[in-house]
Amino acid sequence: MGLFGLFKIVDKIGDVANANLPESASQQDAIYSKRILVVAGALAAVGVVCGLITLVVEVNQPAQNSHGMELLLAPIIFAVGGFLYGAAMMCAFAPGSFLSGKAGAPWIKLTGMESAGGARVVYVMFVLIVTAIVGWIALTSSHLF
């Protein structure tokens, strides 16, 4: 999956976020749905900051700047990753009543699963894999420490 695949996923999440909640959705489900978006947005903001830091650090490296366009995309890519990670983390630990209710149905559909349990497994695996990759990069990178 390339960069445009990530944008398609974010577009789908945007559609889920902008969808009006069914009138039968409880107020708690509506609050949790908004909470997912707030946490995902906050982690997207953290991603932008990390991308900008990466851009500044890499530009200031002498004679190693062979990554022109990739560096300019770093804040966007980090923001998309932060947003996806935040949404997945919140859905992974969402209450069962939310995922099995009307408000959680679009979040389940986003994973391609048909059950709340299957969607939760997808979200947990995504969170664990991303956390492991970022942790491995942080532990093995020579210019972080």
Angstrom distance (rounded) from CA 63 to CA 59: 9
CB 29 within 8 A of CB 21: yes
Half-sphere exposure in the Cβ direction for 96 (13 Å, CA): 2
Task: Tell whether 40 is covered by a domain.
Answer: yes
Task: Tell whether 52 is covered by a domain.
Answer: yes
Provide the domain count of the chain: 1
Q: Inform me whether the pLDDT recorded for 16 exceeds 50.
A: yes
Average pLDDT over residues 26-37: 85
Task: Tell whether 38 is covered by a domain.
Answer: yes
| Cα 79 to Cα 10, 63, 84, 95, 115, distances in angstroms | 10, 27, 9, 26, 29
Provide the token pair at 1.
Answer: 């999956």
Report pLDDT for 103. 83
Predicted model pTM: 0.75
Task: Tell whether 22 is covered by a domain.
Answer: no
pLDDT band at 132 (very low <50, low <70, confident <90, very high): very high
Least Cα distance to 84 among 36, 144, 18 occurs for 36
Task: Tell whether 18 is covered by a domain.
Answer: no
Greater model confidence, 118 or 68: 118
Task: Tell whether 19 is covered by a domain.
Answer: no
pLDDT band at 145 (very low <50, low <70, confident <90, very high): very low
- Of 13-22, 61-70, 101-110, 132-141, least confident by mean pLDDT is 13-22
Task: Tell whether 9 is covered by a domain.
Answer: no
Greater model confidence, 90 or 16: 90
pLDDT band at 142 (very low <50, low <70, confident <90, very high): low
Average pLDDT over residues 18-26: 59
Computed over every residue of the chain, the mean pLDDT equals 81
Domain containing 77: what range? 27-140
Report pLDDT for 62. 64
Residue 130 CB: number of other CB atoms within 10 A? 15
